[in-house]
Amino acid sequence: MKRFVPVISKKMSYKNTEKIKQGIVLAWGEIFLKSAGVQKLLKKRLVNNLFHFLKKQGVDFKIYSWHERIFIETKDFKKASSVLKKTFGTVWFARTLFFAGANFEELNKFIKENYQNWIKRDESFALRIKKDSLIKKGTMEIIDEVAKNIKRKVNLSHPKREIFIEGRKQGWFLYFKKQKGQGGLPLGSQGKTLCLISGGIDSPAAAYLITKRGAENIWLHFHSFPLVSEKSIEKVKETAEIFLNYQPKLKVYFVPFSEIQKEIKINIPAKYRVLFYRRKMLEIAQKIAQKENCQALVTGESLGQVSSQTLPNFQITQEKLKIPVLRPLIGLDKEEIIDLAKQIKTFEISIKPQEDCCTLFVPKGQTAAGKIEIVKKLEKDLKLSRLILRSLKEAEIIIR
């Protein structure tokens, strides 16, 4: 069935079409839970993000920001909708007709003259009305006056067609179908985080979830080139291109880690090696986070997924850190993480073969419950300061 959308067409008998603007109306969700001052800042951030992504896609548009709604005037609905589906901070959006400065009587006349183009004779309908306090006419009065002009069957529970009408100070919206938005908070409204990206399935999904909460991302990838190929590096660069659908720009650090791993392998018992790899990665990540003014680290760890991702081992790997480690996937199982990776289009890249910097040196029989006193004792004889400084110095930085 052809999708039911509002358009201005030659079939319409309404004469004052110059008053009607075509575009997309969108609503935000939890922004309303904030104070008035915070709401203002969040809405401004959302409008800036919309402007960037719409312009990037070559959409011809104008943006109007009001108390409860944002209206994007455009006729390029396909491109604009693809942007809105990926923009954090919107709970829903709808293709709409906007009657700028019109009164209710003009809107009602338009509906009366054109409803036959929207609702077939054998189809039922329902009216969904929303208005602000400045509209003096009551909701039931609006429903009665509109409904009596539509010679179709009413079905409030399961209508074939829904007609949404919104009365605002600036005019009236008329739309027929809401599309789900990304939700969350506008990107950049919650500071910056440094995300550890492995090239696997989990970490891009974690980065997506923290971005959904409004945090801007910087990425950090540890690699073992030239001991292994550059496949993991290539995968992270490819994944970064996908991530630009959600974030306007992305800085990525590529840090060599093989010399540090070799030193750990020589000096640390097999069952503690992975914990030391993770511990040193987080220490290096903290240094970069401080340089970039990031407020937290983000990892793709999920509780109990592997031996290093247990509560005792989390305590060991982050014991020396002064900033928080956020784990957005902490309560998800592998299937849920895979579903999320597929949703954000990173899964197919993540499953490409690679030699991971940890798996290259991973021994059998890793401990799931390390002892911090043993770690501290082993660490006394581990001289890594020089190698860590070298890794930071040799890090490659790209900006997408």
Domain ranges for the chain: 17-180, 192-399
Cα separation, 308 vs 325, in Å, equals 15
CB–CB of 313/282 below 8 Å?
A: no
Predicted pLDDT of residue 361: 59
Predicted pLDDT of residue 152: 96
Same fold, 17-180 and 192-399: no
Residue type, 193: T
Cα separation, 58 vs 3, in Å, equals 24
CB–CB of 339/202 below 8 Å?
A: no
% of the chain with per-residue pLDDT over 70? 93
Predicted pLDDT of residue 362: 65
Q: Which superfamily does 192-399 belong to?
A: HUPs (3.40.50.620)
Which run of H or E residues covers position 39? helix 36-56
Dihedral, CA atoms, 374, 282, 352, 346, nearest 10 degrees? Answer: 140
Residue 1 pLDDT exceeds 50: no
- The topology under which CATH files domain 17-180 is VC0802-like (3.30.2130)
Stronger pLDDT, 232 or 252, i.e. the higher one = 252
Q: Cα dist. 292→188, 193, 194, 255, 346 in Å? A: 14, 9, 8, 15, 25
Cα separation, 171 vs 235, in Å, equals 49
Q: pLDDT class for 275, splitting at 50, 70, 90?
A: very high
Q: pLDDT class for 11, splitting at 50, 70, 90?
A: low
